[in-house]
Amino acid sequence: MNAQLKPESMAPMSGDKYQLTNLTTGKATELPTRTGSVGPAVLDIGGLLKDHGVFTYDPGFMSTASTASAITYIDGDAGVLLYRGYPIEQLAKHSTFLEVSYLLQKGELPDAAELAAFTRSITRHTMLNEWLLRLYRGFHHNAHPMAMVATIVASLAAFYHDTTNITNDRHREIFTHRMIAKIPTIAAAAYKHALGQPFIYPRNDLDYCANMLHMFFSVPCESYEMDALHAKALDLLFILHADHEQNASTSTVRLAGSTGCNPYTAMSAGVSALWGPAHGGANEAVVDMLEKIGDVSHVQDFLARVKDKSGGVRLMGFGHRVYKNFDPRATIIREMCHKVLGKLGQSNTPLFELALRLEEIALKDDYFISRKLYPNVDFYSGIIYRALGIPREMFTVMFAIARTAGWVAHWSEMIGDPTMKIARPRQLYTGAARRDYVPVAKR
Ligand code: ACO
């Protein structure tokens, strides 16, 4: 069958009409479009198999919306990111991570009483079951913290099965509060395990990020001296990383969750997907890369290797599937880097200077210009984490803590949708056609 899609304009907008024509039979069918609240409409191809006997083929979801969602909007050409309609720049300036978590979940900013109640609930859920803490002892001391976090998050399913009836609204709410509350504690326990230090219990008198720093850096014989700037910088990084519509890890959470599985196991799948260097693992890879480059004088050699492509070297922290102009989060983080490093007296660290120079040179280079490759959220985030004393192997864990707010919001939105279906992609089969089994002696 020859199928031809005839767009009447390049970007489908509300009211545009599309038709699919079978050039062999001449049969033409109008394809319905669906219109969102902002941005281009989408072609609804859900009936293609039934009406035309064909699937679409789109590896990597280059042109495919996997779901409708009301949580986050990105305009990649204009460098726009909105959480529930609010620009990321405004949230970064005025909001807090917990308020943003509430917004992502509920769709509206909380009033003072709602925010207080939400904060109280998150604060009261920060402890881990003592038996769960014992699971860490099964890990070797040099296990990667992302491996520990993915395992412990999945293990929550074994502890809270009595309150995880996903059809019950209240159970879903308890689940989301538990996840947001416990993920810093889970991360801190992984860090302490790797260090061989005793686990530090959460403190309810501290706010979300201050408590996290306390659990990371206090020891039983000495409390961590809290620097408010550190907690504020973390809070800002968490706001910027909280959600990013249907990215790989969020789509993983949705796909796993669409089976109706225990939601903690869906979150664990999200943590694992985030770990990859093409996704959240990039923040760790950026610092590795900068250290390998070592000095500004080696930047041109490094970029030549990137452009040569034969060695498979990429400029980590550059490029994005959706942003083809600039990543607004990178702009905010670069400013934050100047502020935080300035206040810590680390503005002139060779790593930061190298990153700035690398960005400057790459942005003038035709290879990056022609492919629309710009710094993404992870180009500078590792530099701030490092300045705050957070070790490199914990960078992606920090990302996971923040993205948990987005994962639970997307999971709740999906499970609460009465039209939800199990996500079950199809394939273009390229293997052997039917053939008969041959006994081993005759092969
Ligand atoms: N360095 C060098 N070249 C690159 C880079 C890069 N970082 N990113 C893309 N390219 C090139 C590709 O080689 C390709 O070139 P070609 O047209 O000559 O074949 C072109 O740009 C398009 O790249 P794709 O890989 O097809 O783009 P895609 O949208 O699939 O990938 C991704 C996006 C994975 C983010 C990619 O840009 C990348 O690997 N970046 C580095 C890793 C990174 O920073 N990841 C974090 C992303 S943000 C996040 O997840 C939090």
Inform me whether the pLDDT recorded for 407 exceeds 80: yes
Residues with CB under 6 A from ligand 1: 60, 278-280, 282, 306, 314-321, 371, 373, 376-378
Inform me whether the pLDDT recorded for 155 exceeds 70: yes
Query: Nearest residue CA, atom 45 of ligand 1?
Result: 278
Please give the full DSSP string across 202-226, using - where no structure is assigned: --TTS-HHHHHHHHHH-BTTB----
Q: 323: CA distance to ligand 1 center in Å?
A: 11
Average pLDDT over residues 57-67: 95
Query: Nearest residue CA, atom 16 of ligand 1?
Result: 371
Phi, psi for 42 (deg, rounded to 5): -125, 155
Please give the full DSSP string across 174-205, using - where no structure is assigned: HHHHHHHHHHHHHHHHHHHHHHTPPP----TT
Structure confidence by residue, pLDDT tens digits, 309-321 = 888 999 999 999 9
Stretch among 43-47, 183-187, 304-308 having the lowest mean pLDDT: 43-47
Q: What share of the chain is helix, strand, coil (3-state, %, to 5)?
A: 55, 5, 40
Question: What single-letter DSSP state applies at residue 388?
Answer: T
pLDDT of residue 272: 98
Q: Which residues does 196 contact at the CB level (< 8 Å), separation at least 6? A: 141
CB 88 within 8 A of CB 81: yes
Identified catalytic residue from 378, 410, 417, 436: 378
What's the pTM value of the predicted model, to 2 decimals? 0.93
Ligand 1 atom nearest the C-alpha of 286 is 44
pLDDT-based confidence at 10, cuts 50/70/90?
Answer: low
Identified catalytic residue from 320, 327, 417, 436: 320
Among 321, 369, 399, name the best residue to mutate to test ligand 1's pocket (greatest count of ligand atoms within 8 A of Cβ): 321
Of 140, 131, 269, 243, nearest to 193 by C-alpha is 140
378 is catalytic: yes
Rounded Cα distance, 5 and 332, in Å? 41
Rounded Cα distance, 139 and 44, in Å? 47
Structure confidence by residue, pLDDT tens digits, 132-149 = 999 999 999 899 999 999
Helix ranges, 3-53 (H): 48-52
pLDDT-based confidence at 343, cuts 50/70/90?
Answer: confident
Considering the chain, what is the average pLDDT of its residues? 93
Of 411, 410, 409, 405, nearest to 181 by C-alpha is 405
Query: Nearest residue CA, atom 11 of ligand 1?
Result: 371
Inform me whether the pLDDT recorded for 443 exceeds 70: yes
pLDDT-based confidence at 6, cuts 50/70/90?
Answer: very low
Contacts 24+ apart (CB under 8 A), 217-225: 217/389
Inform me whether the pLDDT recorded for 273 exceeds 60: yes
Of 264, 266, 284, nearest to 275 by C-alpha is 284
pLDDT-based confidence at 14, cuts 50/70/90?
Answer: low
Inform me whether the pLDDT recorded for 305 exceeds 90: yes
pLDDT-based confidence at 1, cuts 50/70/90?
Answer: very low
320 is catalytic: yes
Higher pLDDT, 101 or 223: 101
Contacts 24+ apart (CB under 8 A), 159-164: 159/129, 159/131, 159/132, 160/264, 161/262, 164/262, 164/263, 164/264
Average pLDDT over residues 223-228: 87
Query: Nearest residue CA, atom 35 of ligand 1?
Result: 320
pLDDT of residue 28: 84
